[in-house]
């Protein structure tokens, strides 16, 4: 399936979201900064509250990008046709207070771009058959 990429750049760094779809399910990779990586996953479903898992980033610490993946999840939830997984990791070397302060707004803007795309590009459900 084709991948769609959305980007936002502010305060000297870029955050991006790559969106892929299988049937009506959505996979989003939310990465950026100087060291893109995968450290958290947020699951969004029509039938249960969102859930986030944060993996260890270094001894005694866990990845903090859940605040960003959850922001995107909250924005896109009203237009989801099925499930979504948002996998994220963003690291800006020696991040400044200003750069940290705009991260939430950047995730919000990406969520809005994705929401608008999903709302205008719905998928017809491929029905599953069971034995």
CA torsion, ordered 85, 111, 108, 76, to nearest 10 deg: -70
The domains of the chain are located at: 4-119
Pair of tokens at residue 110: 């990406």
Q: Could you give phi then psi for residue 99, rounded to 5 degrees?
A: -65, -40
Tell me how far apart the alpha carbons of residues 112 and 96 are, in angstroms, rounded to a whole number. 25
Sequence-separated (6 or more) residues with CB below 8 Å from residue 120: none
Q: What is the pLDDT of residues 81-128, one digit of tens each?
A: 999 999 999 999 999 999 999 999 999 999 999 999 999 999 999 999
pLDDT for 2 equals 79
Task: Identify the CA nearest to 65 among candidates 98, 103, 94.
Answer: 103
8 Å CB contact between 99 and 72 = no
Q: Above pLDDT 90, what percent of the chain? A: 95
Q: What is the pLDDT of residues 7-30, one digit of tens each?
A: 999 999 999 999 999 999 999 999
pLDDT for 81 equals 96
Q: Could you give phi then psi for residue 72, rounded to 5 degrees?
A: -60, -45
Distance of CA 93 to the CA centre of its chain: 21
Q: What is the pLDDT of residues 93-104, one digit of tens each?
A: 999 999 999 999
DSSP state of 118: H
pLDDT for 1 equals 58
Q: Regarding the domain delimited by 4-119, which CATH topology (the fold level of the hierarchy) does it fall under?
A: Ribosomal Protein S5; domain 2 (3.30.230)
Average pLDDT over residues 32-60: 96
């Amino acid at each position: 399936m084709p991948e769609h990429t959305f980007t936002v750049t502010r305060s000297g760094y870029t955050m991006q979201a790559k969106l892929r779809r299988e049937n009506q399910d959505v996979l989003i990779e939310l990465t950026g900064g100087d060291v893109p990586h995968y450290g958290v996953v947020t699951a969004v479903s029509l039938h249960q509250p969102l859930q986030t898992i944060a993996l260890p980033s270094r001894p005694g610490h866990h990845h903090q990008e859940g605040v960003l993946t959850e922001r995107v999840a909250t924005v896109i939830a009203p237009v989801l046709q099925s499930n979504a997984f948002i996998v994220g990791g963003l690291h800006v070397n020696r991040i400044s207070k200003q750069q940290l302060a705009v991260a939430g707004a950047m995730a919000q803007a990406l969520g809005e771009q994705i929401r608008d795309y999903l709302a205008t590009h719905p998928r017809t459900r491929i029905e599953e058959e069971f034995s």
